[in-house]
Structure 1
Amino acid sequence: MRYILIILLFFICFPAFTQQSAIGSPDSVYSIVQQLQEVTVIAEKRELSPSDIPVALTVINERSIPGENNPDLRNISGIVPNFYMQEGGLKLSTPMYMRGIGTVSGTPPVGLYVDGVPVFDKNAFVFDLYDIQQIEVLRGPQTTLYGRNSINGLININTRQAGNKFALRGKIGVASYVSQNYNLVIDLPLKKLRNKFSFSYNKSRGYFKNKFESERRSNPTESYNGQYQGNIYAGRNWKIGLGANYVHSFDGGYAYYAVDSLKKERYKVNYNTPSSYKRDLLRSYLSVKKSGQHAAFNWMSSYSWSKDKQILDADFTYLDVFDNYKKSKQHLVTQEINLQSAATRYWDWTIGTFGFYKDLENNYLATFGKDKHFLLPMPLDEATYYNSTTTKGIAGYGQIGVKELWPGMVLTAGLRYDYESVHLNYRDSLLLTGSSQFEAYHSSKKDKSFAAWLPKFSFLQKWEKGISLYANVAKGYKAGGYNIIVNEMSSQFVDLGYEEEELWNYEIGLKYFSPRKKFNLTAALFYIDWKDQQIFVMGMMGPSIKNAGDARSFGGELDLQWEIVPRLTYTFSAGYNHAEYYHHLIQAYEGHRIVMSPEFTGHAGLSYQMPLRSLGFENFVASTTVSGFGTQYFDEANLLKQSPYFLWNLDLYFSGKHIDFHIWGKNLLDKAFFTYMLNNPVGEKLPQYYDMGQSGSPARFGASIAFKI
């Protein structure tokens, strides 16, 4: 307890020590106080005030995220209590944790919706947040309204809607490590059709160097993103929306190296095979909304397609042990229809149905070099893998809220039935040393189905002075499925399946919004019981998922915004969770902490705003923020860990009617930390490579200039 209090005091006091040098942006920390009073939140599928939603909720606008010319979801770690998204790795697999619950691989524990369109897979979670209206992050299960992908939380992103007047906004940014960023957004209305076209481009040389390739950079990145959004406002309260988004990205390989070596040289790796990951992603949607006097009708259809190609030095060493070439394609179609009552004094309701079809195909080629004896138990030169998984699902849901049984009371109950079926077609072939042709080894055609009832209950009591108390109970659920690769090479028996997992979340909370919008406070306590956890396992041929055991997580969260005096605003958010196994297939792991989830997250900031009448600018804002993360364990034995660390950020922002200028710095003290660690399979025979890791980002600086017409 003393340790936790010291951490809280550090977050509370540190910004005050740096008040004289604080720097930031006019729409960032300063605007949050007003924003939480005035915004409406649609993550409950209807427009509500944050004080009317009986769950822990954080609302973020684009400039609430310190630093970065083009931020993404990884940058909200710490800002959202008990939310952590790994900053390293590739877009292919970005571990995400909420309240201690998550996974390194497989289906994420947090649902993601962008303008009402679901995003199912983590390879699509990392994209530019350059034209964002707001981000709503709900903690705890949201499966009653959103299904299996939101087992312990939901991120709902709303982009800026197309305007009714011509407008043009652009931004050019530069940053450390030869990074460059460009954005362009055009509103082009044509009578009843409002059009918005947007584009972004990012490129960075990266900061990891590869010893094997004469210090060549090993983690360059490049991406571009084009988007169209259109809205048609027809008569009698009809609104038709349509949109399309195409994203291309290229990244270097995982920057893993021996932990002991990284402690001496933080940004050096030693690969013999150049590694990379390329992703192409297309998303499109059609929405129809009709508002009536008594009810509203909503229709949302979406289609997405993605193609990935990965080249990987899978042993992460200079030795010629194991290389991996992977290609995948995916098609996803979703359809949702719902009806909602108009808001009334005494009750409201929502009913709906949701269905999806997903087709995923993976092709692997694994090649084994002259040093393969450090990994393989058999004489093998190459292996090919083919995996095709087809998943179909359908769900029906309903929710009703009863109000004013006594003044300020709201009682809500919801229920969803979720069903899906999965079909697997898998085969692999081996080219044994000395052989001239591939031989079939594993083959499997399997079917699984999963179904669940997903209830939730909540109670909310509001008072006129801006105070509300709430309690809720909700069930979270994530379906099972099939792994995409076999790790057992010593046997021709294959079992790629894993089962569903579920949890119950119990939560109580307090919300206070001051009448004059000067002070906002939200707090929550939670307890989670997690059954049949799907865990990540690093095997001989690659990662896989298996059901390991049962875990519990309990903790608390706090969000605070306070306008201390006019123009000076203080923000503070913190989350603590204690997540551990109470049952595990490996009994020795019982009582151990859940991997990857920081014991605490925290974010504190101080922002000062002043009017400015110079060089076309109208406002100047200065802010300083500190983000902190508690102890993380990276293996279930709890031997690989990162101790608590804190990152200091600064921002300067000048804004005007037609021009904005932003200067920023992140991790100014160049704090060293590990963002990931793992046990390398080749370490069984080469102990110096058993503990591998990746260093976190160094100090970075950047600036951007934006224009508005």
Structure 2
Amino acid sequence: MKSIMNMKSLVCAAFAAVVFSPAGAAGIGIENPVEGSVLADTSRVVDLDEVLVIKQPKESFRLRQQPVSSSMYSARDLLAIGARDLRELSAFVPSFTMPNYGSRYTSSMYVRGIGSRINSPAVGIYVDGVPVMSKSAFNQHYYAVDRVDVLRGPQSTLYGLNTEGGMVRMYTRNPFSYQGTDMELGWGTRAWRNAELTHYNKVSGKFAFSVGGFYDGQNGFFRNQTTGDRADKYDEAGGRLRLMWRPTQRLSFEVFGDYQYVDQNGFPYGRLNLETGETESPASTYQGSYRRNTLVSGLNVGFKANHFDLHYATSYQWLKDYMMMDQDYLPVDYMHLKQWQLQNAMTHELSLKSNHPVGGFWHWTLGAFFSAQWLRTDGPVFFDADMTNMMYGMLQPMIEPVMYNAILAAFTGRMIGQGVPPAAAGTAAAAAVEKAGGVHVTGVEMGAPGIYRTPQFNLGFYHESNFDITRNLTATLGLRYDWTHAKIAYEASTFMGVNASVLGKDATRYLASSISDLLKDDFNQLLPKFGLTYRFRDGNVYATVTKGYRSGGYNIQMFADILQNDVMSAVRGQKVDMSQFASGDINIEHTEANYQDIAKTISYEPEVSWNYEVGTHLNLFRRALQLDLSVFYMQVRNQQIAVMAPGFSYGRMMTNAGRSYSAGMEAALRGAAFDNHFDWSLSYSFTRAKFKEYMDLQTVNGAPVTLDYSGNYVPYVPQHQLAAFADYRFDINGSWLKNITLGANMNAQGKIYWNEANSYSQKFYALLGAHADADFGLVKLCVWARNLASTNYNTFAISSSATRTTEYFAHRGDPFQMGVDLKFHF
């Protein structure tokens, strides 16, 4: 431990002295700009749109020329901030958060206060022109990445449903423009290990391909105090193939496939003390785990005609996973959940875009999109010893007298039928029952299996026009018709088995409730977009009004609670005659009215928003500085909120708040200096997301209570986000050492409320990182560190009433880490 602290101090001191100290700068031969030196003419911020040319099948202009708040990151940027996946990148993107919730299964994203932990996502993800359909596949290991674009605000006109908050576009390296073999080996804290190998080959001017694979793993930071296992260890691996063929200058084809597998211990939630803010180590009875197989494959076809570009994209995607979670997160044996998902999905999209020469008055895009998803979820809930013992203590005084009285009445009736007087028959029957062994309830067993099929189909038609009203002023008009068809076919049940000794014989009587049905619904939306962009020599200013949309659907998390409430009502004598329990099993019957109530309970409505935004993209001081600034206001109706299911609290469900709003600003500065040796970036965002109208019905002590959350902050949304990084490159130009780069980075966020009542939260916190790279030409050596100050913070917190008492739990953020990477290119 002492050596680690010394290493942390050494790294911090080195960065402070070399990167930030004026004396340190002077010592390495950099003139003080205040004392007369000026920025070299070659110092300019690299415009990724110009350097990394990416064909966009829909947009008519480069990203920073469009009326949208956006951020772009190159492979070099990802290295500077140490981001290996989208979750780690999100900490450096304004108004965007994708926190670590304990596994790659949970990939919740929030942009401008819009998002949720379950069901319909608020942010879309495209990889090499293909949308990733399963939210469970969003959180992937990304490698061989060339560029990442993050677009904030609704992108629904061109990209459809579930891009209400924004979207992420990821591009891998193009083998036509990048050749050779990249190999990366990494080792770090807690046996973090990483290996990547990708080969890029341009066979001819018409054909190129890339093929690669990776392995990534770590032993974890947190130990489960009950099982002794590392609660967050993981191993993952995968491979990727990309084939590109350009038979003519007009026609192009691309085929790719990306398979990944992950096996991890997950959900390292420890008990949270609300008074002190301290989070204990995980101590669940069952160690949570997650295993996932994913395949994303796609085909892109492009054709360049005389007056338009045609692009067709299709994909097939497959996901198969397994999750096991201890639902009480405690060292007691209450309940655990297992879930299996199997999903098949396909997409088709055809788009046409005008390709008029520069100066054309009308730039247009039109297209059609179709997707189909078939998802089967098996999600049984298991009730364990401590839960069944607790239920036994509750039910034994209720059930045992009912069973005894039923048998006593049967014996008494039989004796009266044999001519015994009623008074004497009762006494004799009681004696006979007692002599035979009586009636004694000895235990309870429970379970809640369920199978849910939730197919979804989506069809969209869209058009967007950009009119150059003047040489500097462009008007944007867009409209999309979006149709979604959602279904749920469910087969769910729950049972309570009562183990009893009846007249000297052991028997088990089952009280069961089973339901099955098919529900479907259609959702239609028109999604317009209006914008004005004024261009000038050093940038542009813009104003937009856009409509966002997330589809409605069905909660599968609700069924266990619905059915358990059925059983508990039956035990209380509200649904069935419990005297039947003495002689056999009982199945609770359901009426059409019951099924109508279930349909209302499990369904949630679409979320619709209007986004009003003004912003600017500026290139200042001869492009030595870029400034992106935006201010937004969003009105949200039927905001989808993930809350704990009422009753026994077996999981999260989606519900709709009445109305809410989100307002804020985003600012990003990026600069270059000292002949492009010094690169830096600074960003800040502020988000104020609140409920205007939100009345929630909860059950407290068995009675319904209406809670008013109007005026409260929307949970899981950071109010402030701040990020920065700075790199300085020292040119050595030696025979074996080319240059050395030193860099530092920081990301901070907070305050974050964890529930709708705003009763507990995470305060503002900051994380510091650093890296030092030595470029030897063939190989680059990178030493890096994260969370240099070992900041104590929580990435996520939750409450649970599984034990019938409200407990609070949190996932602690990773502590100090360091490692070394070797990167080869040959």
TM-score, length-scaled by structure 2: 0.79
AA partner of residue 126 (structure 2): Y
Corresponding residue number in structure 1 for 2:622: 516
SS in 1 for 2:447: strand
SS in 2 for 1:149: coil
Q: How does 1:152-191 map to 2 (within 5 A)?
A: 152-163=165-176, 167-191=180-204
Q: How does 1:19-98 map to 2 (within 5 A)?
A: 19-20=20-21, 33-36=45-48, 38-39=50-51, 40=53, 45-46=58-59, 48-65=61-78, 71-98=84-111
Corresponding residue number in structure 2 for 1:366: 381
Residue 323 of structure 1 pairs with residue 429 of structure 2 = no
Q: Deviations over 1:194-248 (max 9, x none)?
A: 11101111010001101112x3211111101200000001124100000111110
Q: How does 1:236-255 map to 2 (within 5 A)?
A: 236-255=249-268
Residues 69, 702 of structure 1: 8 Å contact kept: no
| Partner Cα separation in structure 2 for residue 58 and residue 374 of structure 1 | 55
Instruction: Say if 1:16 and 1:468 are closer, same or farther in 2 by CA, change over 3 A.
Output: farther
Residue 654 of structure 1 pairs with residue 783 of structure 2 = no
Residue 569 of structure 1 pairs with residue 664 of structure 2 = no
The one of 543, 559, 565 aligned to 1:490: 565
Instruction: Say if 1:263 and 1:639 are closer, same or farther in 2 by CA, change over 3 A.
Output: same
Instruction: Say if 1:308 and 1:263 are closer, same or farther in 2 by CA, change over 3 A.
Output: farther
SS in 2 for 1:552: strand
Residues 166, 187 of structure 1: 8 Å contact kept: yes
Q: Give the superposition deviation at 1:394.
A: 0.8
Corresponding residue number in structure 2 for 1:402: 467
Corresponding residue number in structure 2 for 1:545: 654
| Partner Cα separation in structure 1 for residue 690 and residue 389 of structure 2 | 34
Q: Give the superposition deviation at 1:122.
A: 2.3
Q: How does 1:459-498 map to 2 (within 5 A)?
A: 459-464=532-537, 466-485=538-557, 486=559, 487-488=561-562, 489-491=564-566, 493=594, 494-495=598-599, 496-498=602-604
Residues 270, 279 of structure 2: 8 Å contact kept: no
Which ranges of structure 1 fall in alignment gaps of 5 or more residues?
A: 1-13, 23-29
Q: Give the superposition deviation at 1:548.
A: 2.1
Residues 413, 458 of structure 1: 8 Å contact kept: yes
Residues 144, 455 of structure 1: 8 Å contact kept: yes
Corresponding residue number in structure 1 for 2:524: 451
| Partner Cα separation in structure 2 for residue 93 and residue 290 of structure 1 | 38
Q: Give the superposition deviation at 1:75.
A: 1.1
Instruction: Say if 1:262 and 1:114 are closer, same or farther in 2 by CA, change over 3 A.
Output: farther
The one of 613, 616, 623 aligned to 2:733: 613
Corresponding residue number in structure 2 for 1:699: 816
SS in 1 for 2:738: strand
SS in 2 for 1:51: helix
**664-673 or 675-684, which deviates more:** 675-684
Q: Deviations over 1:573-605 (max 9, x none)?
A: 110011000100235211100100100111122
Q: How does 1:500-649 map to 2 (within 5 A)?
A: 500-514=606-620, 516-539=622-645, 540-566=649-675, 567-586=677-696, 588-614=708-734, 616-649=736-769
Q: Give the superposition deviation at 1:315.
A: 1.0
**381-390 or 648-657, which deviates more:** 648-657
Q: Deviations over 1:82-120 (max 9, x none)?
A: 111112322112221101111121221111000010012
Which ranges of structure 2 fall in alignment gaps of 5 or more residues?
A: 1-14, 26-41, 396-443, 499-507, 567-589, 697-706
| Partner Cα separation in structure 1 for residue 390 and residue 126 of structure 2 | 41
Q: Give the superposition deviation at 1:440.
A: 4.7
Q: Give the superposition deviation at 1:383.
A: 1.4
Instruction: Say if 1:648 and 1:420 are closer, same or farther in 2 by CA, change over 3 A.
Output: same
| Partner Cα separation in structure 1 for residue 754 and residue 43 of structure 2 | 37
| Partner Cα separation in structure 1 for residue 241 and residue 364 of structure 2 | 33
Q: Give the superposition deviation at 1:37.
A: 6.6
Q: Deviations over 1:290-343 (max 9, x none)?
A: 112211110001000000101111111111100111111000010000111104
- Cα RMSD, aligned residues only: 2.5
Corresponding residue number in structure 2 for 1:348: 363
SS in 1 for 2:157: helix
**60-69 or 524-533, which deviates more:** 60-69
Instruction: Say if 1:260 and 1:626 are closer, same or farther in 2 by CA, change over 3 A.
Output: same
Q: Deviations over 1:469-510 (max 9, x none)?
A: 100000000110111231322136423211101100000001
AA partner of residue 671 (structure 2): W
Residues 626, 669 of structure 2: 8 Å contact kept: yes
Q: Give the superposition deviation at 1:165.
A: 7.8
| Partner Cα separation in structure 1 for residue 689 and residue 111 of structure 2 | 11
Larger RCO: Structure 1 or Structure 2 (Cα < 8 Å, ≥ 6 residues apart)? Answer: 1
| Partner Cα separation in structure 1 for residue 16 and residue 474 of structure 2 | 38
Instruction: Say if 1:144 and 1:541 are closer, same or farther in 2 by CA, change over 3 A.
Output: same
Residue 433 of structure 1 pairs with residue 478 of structure 2 = no
Q: Give the superposition deviation at 1:431.
A: 3.1
Q: Give the superposition deviation at 1:56.
A: 0.5
Q: Give the superposition deviation at 1:264.
A: 8.9
Q: Deviations over 1:145-194 (max 9, x none)?
A: 00002011010111111237862110000111111000000123444331
Which structure has the larger Rg? 2
Corresponding residue number in structure 2 for 1:196: 210
**560-569 or 381-390, which deviates more:** 560-569
Corresponding residue number in structure 1 for 2:456: 391
SS in 1 for 2:88: helix
Residues 633, 664 of structure 2: 8 Å contact kept: yes
Residues 309, 354 of structure 2: 8 Å contact kept: yes
Residues 296, 342 of structure 1: 8 Å contact kept: yes
Q: Deviations over 1:237-293 (max 9, x none)?
A: 100000111110012121112102997975621111122000000111111101122
**568-577 or 610-619, which deviates more:** 610-619
Instruction: Say if 1:15 and 1:51 are closer, same or farther in 2 by CA, change over 3 A.
Output: farther
AA partner of residue 366 (structure 1): V
Q: Deviations over 1:673-702 (max 9, x none)?
A: 1111111123543x5xx1111111111111
Q: Judging by fraction of residues, say which structure has more strand.
A: 1
Q: Give the superposition deviation at 1:561.
A: 1.0
Corresponding residue number in structure 1 for 2:347: 334
| Partner Cα separation in structure 2 for residue 262 and residue 306 of structure 1 | 42
Q: Give the superposition deviation at 1:430.
A: 2.2
| Partner Cα separation in structure 2 for residue 561 and residue 78 of structure 1 | 17
Instruction: Say if 1:448 and 1:219 are closer, same or farther in 2 by CA, change over 3 A.
Output: same
| Partner Cα separation in structure 2 for residue 558 and residue 51 of structure 1 | 14
SS in 2 for 1:287: strand
Corresponding residue number in structure 2 for 1:138: 151
| Partner Cα separation in structure 2 for residue 224 and residue 438 of structure 1 | 46
| Partner Cα separation in structure 2 for residue 66 and residue 226 of structure 1 | 21
Instruction: Say if 1:165 and 1:130 are closer, same or farther in 2 by CA, change over 3 A.
Output: closer
Q: Give the superposition deviation at 1:408.
A: 1.0
Instruction: Say if 1:454 and 1:259 are closer, same or farther in 2 by CA, change over 3 A.
Output: same
Q: Give the superposition deviation at 1:656.
A: 4.0
Same amino acid, percent of matched pairs: 26
Residues 213, 238 of structure 2: 8 Å contact kept: yes
Q: Give the superposition deviation at 1:547.
A: 1.1
